[in-house]
Structure 1
């Protein structure tokens, strides 16, 4: 695994902790890498595969990756402008603005991601980003290396599709990494209730069935999910190998409520 490729985005439920602390979970050899729920791409950047298909339903997220792949300097130049002008007033001005080009959209996306509360991505019923400003001031980071990011993205195919379309494209000895929104059956947690709107329990069941088909085709699979009895039973009943890991969650407005949570690790074919 590469340790010099750090994700340039912050994402709720990001898996940098997983690739850093548990590299043994990932296959040493595979053909094409496929990730239907991309987010910050922590696993992709750590593995740095030769071929990859990266997907997310968030079209603005995928646009950000594609523009960095195609012309990272243009994105970087616009991001520098945001860096110089950043303030509370400027943040809300940009948050409420409409951008015209793919490159200005990408720079806006990165700017808001880095300066909003906890790097959350949340939209209202009209699809408008509505996360308030956070405490971080830096728009340009010491870890930024958009030139290198652009280089490793050159052999990547991007997609904005339903996850099942991507899972169905996986062939024998390809590697599927699956990190869906953590929706569970009959849960009243506010964040998971928000996820329920974008990823329902029916989607969880549909995902599991699509992974059964991929497993039967000989695809290597590593999936993460909520360690909840409903999810665990779903995958154990389908004969997947399931283990539990603990992770630290930093997403809470009250620091005293930030604690360790358990995650379900689901594997097949390696």
Structure 2
């Protein structure tokens, strides 16, 4: 069964699972993903053991809550479904729940009913996306029970990418999908993140990837198809991929974009 992501995230890799699954190794020990987001690749591979992280604590909390007690999360989502309205949306958006389950249900509710499933916060860290047009909070494709079972041998961590990649050992598979910062250019994906991802972070990421491959890990990096990235990862196999971008609010910014897959093994 193909498990579907439970949360929509900017730069999600559902398209990669559909079009580029041949890029993934067929055998590996532990699966490691330091920029988790919607976790499309993880749900596709369904690894027996995994270490998953992201700097976004609210995102990681969703997965931890589902792992610990998915039924509590679903029960709270049913209540949001019953109450859903424009008034309820903005009331929930202004709330600050105190338990992992109410926080997770709030995140999922807002993600599924806000404009285009976009996660965006202001400078104070407050979620500020307006309500969208979708009204379904619980979906037919949801498999919370199966996902919770998959999470049994998965560890979730709120962390910078470097210490996570540094845990990769021989035979492990690391999937790396950072914000697409390029040299001398402000990339659109950065503005969806509370913390800016700088070019210096791209260099630090490449160094962590090189260290991991030296230990025998298999690393697949998805990044911008840009000369600065190609030069940064010179010496590794590079494959150009195409994807569609439907997240942009204005039609002139939508279309087909190219990304770079870098195989480091």
Task: Please classify the TM superposition score into its range, dividing by the shorter chain length.
Answer: over 0.9
Alignment match, 1:260: 256
Q: Deviations over 1:92-151 (max 9, x none)?
A: 110011101110000000001111111111111111111111121111111111111101
Output the CA distance in 1 between the equivalents of 2:202 and 2:196. 11
Aligned to 1:129: 127
Distance 1:108 1:194 in 2: 19
The alpha carbon displacement at 1:254 in A equals 2.6
Gaps (5+ residues) in structure 2?
Answer: none
Q: Secondary structure at the residue paired with 1:159?
A: strand
> Which of 181, 200, 203 lines up with 2:201 in the alignment?
203
Aligned to 1:110: 108
SS at match of 1:158: strand
Alignment of 1:71-110 (within 5 A): 71-110=69-108
The C-alpha deviation readout for 1:10-68, integer Å capped at 9, x for no partner, is 11111111111111100000000000000010000000000000001111111110110
- Larger displacement relative to structure 2 (103-112 or 132-141): 132-141
CA deviation profile, 1:212-251 (whole Å, cap 9, x unmatched): 1111111101110011111111111xx2111111101111
Match of 2:36 among 24, 34, 38: 38
Residues 263, 190 of structure 1: alpha-carbon distance in 2 compared, 3 angstrom cutoff: closer
Contact 1:83 1:139 in 2 (8 A): yes
In the alignment, what sits opposite 1:174?
172
- What does residue 54 of structure 1 align with? 52
User: What is the CA RMSD across the aligned residues, in angstroms?
Assistant: 1.4
Taking the aligned partners of 1:189 and 1:215, their CA distance within structure 2 comes to 27
Task: State yes or no: 1:148 paired with 2:154.
Answer: no
Moved more, 33-42 or 194-203: 194-203
Provide the TM-score with structure 2 as the length reference: 0.96
- Does structure 1 retain, via aligned residues, the 8 Å contact 2:8–2:117? yes
Question: Offset of 1:190 from its aligned partner?
Answer: 4.5
User: SS in structure 1 opposite 2:233?
Assistant: helix
**1:255 to partner: Cα distance:** 3.6
- What is aligned with 1:226? 224
8 Å contact from structure 1 (residues 183, 193) kept in 2: no
Normalised TM-score (structure 1): 0.94
Aligned length: 265
